[in-house]
Amino acid sequence: MHEKLHAYQATLQFGELVFDVLSRKGTIHKALKDQLERAMESMLLNIAEGNGKKSAAERRRFFETARASTFECAAITDLLLVQRVISPELGRDLKSLLERIAAMLTGLMR
């Protein structure tokens, strides 16, 4: 099942960190908050769905979508850093985790 994938586990870890940030009242513009939630959910759900596909082409398509959402989360993380919503340390942790997830998804796409 998808829960055993390291990319899925790392995405859950990212989600936990993100939800801590999102739960802060009034620190993030609503549109950016919604976009981050959607991108993070897209990562997780596309990994799970892609893992359930039998054909290599279908699996690849879902993992590509998850990877694109990973890059979207990285850009949003940059915005949160610029807006001083998150600390530089948290920003580094999030970006490092996203880099690992992207690398794992690249491997799953092969």
**Is-contact 69 49, C-beta < 8 A?**
no
pLDDT per residue as tens digits for the range 54-70:
999 999 999 999 999 99
Q: Rounded distance, CA 17 to CA 93, Å? A: 9
Task: Tell me the HSE value of 51 on the side-chain side, using a 13 A CA sphere.
Answer: 18
Q: Is the pLDDT of residue 25 over 90?
A: no
CA end-to-end span of the chain: 19
pTM above 0.85, yes or no: yes
Domains of the chain and CATH, by start:
2-109 (1.20.1440.60)
Q: Is the pLDDT of residue 92 over 80?
A: yes
* C-alpha pair distances (Å), 89 with each of 33, 60, 78, 80, 95: 20, 33, 12, 12, 10
DSSP state of 83: T
Q: Rounded distance, CA 77 to CA 75, Å? A: 5
Residue type at 31?
Answer: A
Average pLDDT, integer, range 66-88: 97
Structure tokens at 20: 């801590």
